[in-house]
């Protein structure tokens, strides 16, 4: 650097700095004495190695629309590495006249760029929250690609970028843990009985715990019965559908070697009343094995029990 301006950039190696091997300096100042006089310039040594284990994280939650949970807030954090890719641009854009420049002085600005692009990438990815843990490597590549142009403007590059964790707010995680516990429990009725047995054992181990054990067992089995009636997720039991209507049989009657019919049960009731059907009349209906006397068929026997008794003798 000569008088605040970038004179030249030397790649790694050994150099003897003279005016004749720095042609850029000849345009910056008129030199006397045939360019043999000593000159003063500032030389900055810039490390081009990787600076690793730099932290980034979302200070505020990222709002996105999850396909399963709906509107959701996410937090994310991780690490990254930076490296100077263009020393000349880095000197003019970042360092200026600072004689000693550290990574902490630029890490804050890069962190802001990362958080901005990370929020945009996560919100636009369309990946469900529960599947993001399996896609952190791909999401990290997308974020690194998104921040590359902004970082390159400072003469830097991000050769490594990692997402260590993507998390939900504590309240949402607590509800999700409960949902997971219900899935692990499986049969809630058996689980409630098991929990009641454990509570009874723990109460019995305490001095004077017999009463507590009885109460715990009663509560446990009561809850188990309620859960069994309410279903696996506490929903109200569905009303049982009504049974199908009974099948109406039709009957045939055999008389004098011939059969006639079919008759409904109502018809047979009127015939029993007028005497044309008696207990000895042979009847048959589909599904019945052979002809049987009407008095021996349970469905027709009641027709004869409602008949009036025989009239009293005259006089």
Q: Which helix (H) or strand (E) holds 212?
A: helix 210-230
| pLDDT (0 to 100) of residue 148 | 92
For residue 58, the 8-state DSSP code is -
CB 141, CB 147: distance < 8 Å: no
Question: What does pLDDT average to over the chain?
Answer: 76
| pLDDT (0 to 100) of residue 25 | 52
CB 111, CB 76: distance < 8 Å: no
For residue 21, the 8-state DSSP code is G
The answer on pLDDT for 133 being more than 60 is yes
CB 76, CB 163: distance < 8 Å: yes
Query: Rg (Cα) of the chain, in Å, rounded?
Result: 47
Beta strands in 93-211 (DSSP E): 156-167
The answer on pLDDT for 277 being more than 60 is yes
Nearest to 57 by CA among 184, 172, 166: 166
For residue 131, the 8-state DSSP code is G
In CATH, which superfamily holds the domain spanning 51-171?
A: Band 7 domain (3.30.479.30)
For residue 23, the 8-state DSSP code is H
Mean pLDDT of 130-158: 89
| pLDDT (0 to 100) of residue 79 | 93
pLDDT tens digits along 18-52: 655 555 555 444 444 444 555 567 778 888 889 88
Instruction: Give the domain ranges of the chain.
Output: 1-43, 51-171, 186-230, 251-305
Instruction: Report the percent of the chain where pLDDT is more than 70.
Output: 69
Question: In which residue are the tokens 């990362």 written?
Answer: 114
């Amino acid at each position: 650097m000569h008088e605040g301006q970038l004179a030249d950039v030397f790649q790694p190696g050994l150099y003897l700095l003279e005016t004749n091997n720095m042609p850029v300096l000849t345009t910056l100042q008129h030199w006397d004495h045939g360019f043999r006089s000593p000159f003063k310039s500032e030389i900055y040594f810039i490390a081009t190695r990787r600076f690793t284990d730099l932290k980034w994280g979302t200070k505020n939650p990222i709002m996105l629309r999850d396909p399963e949970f709906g509107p959701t807030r996410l937090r994310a954090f991780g690490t990254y590495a930076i490296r100077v890719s263009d020393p000349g641009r880095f000197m003019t854009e970042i360092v200026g006249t600072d004689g000693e420049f550290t990574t902490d002085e630029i890490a804050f600005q890069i962190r802001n760029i990362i958080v901005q692009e990370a929020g945009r990438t996560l919100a636009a990815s369309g990946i469900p929250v529960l599947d993001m843990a399996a896609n952190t490597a791909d999401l990290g590549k997308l974020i690194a690609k998104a921040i590359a142009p902004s970082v390159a403007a400072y003469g830097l590059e991000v050769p490594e970028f990692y997402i260590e964790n993507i998390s939900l707010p504590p309240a949402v995680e607590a509800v999700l843990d409960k949902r997971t516990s219900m899935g692990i429990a499986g049969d809630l009725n058996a689980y409630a009985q098991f929990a009641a047995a454990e509570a009874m054992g723990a109460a019995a181990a305490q001095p004077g715990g017999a009463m507590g054990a009885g109460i715990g067992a009663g509560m446990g089995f009561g809850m188990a019965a309620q859960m069994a009636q309410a279903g696996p997720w506490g929903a109200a039991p569905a009303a049982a559908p009504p049974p199908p209507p009974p099948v109406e049989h039709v009957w045939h009657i055999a008389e004098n070697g011939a059969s006639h019919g079919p008759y409904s049960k109502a018809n047979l009731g009127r015939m029993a009343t007028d005497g044309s059907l008696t207990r000895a009349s042979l009847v048959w209906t589909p599904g019945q094995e052979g002809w049987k006397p009407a008095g021996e068929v349970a469905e027709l026997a009641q027709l004869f029990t409602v008949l009036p008794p025989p009239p009293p003798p005259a006089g």
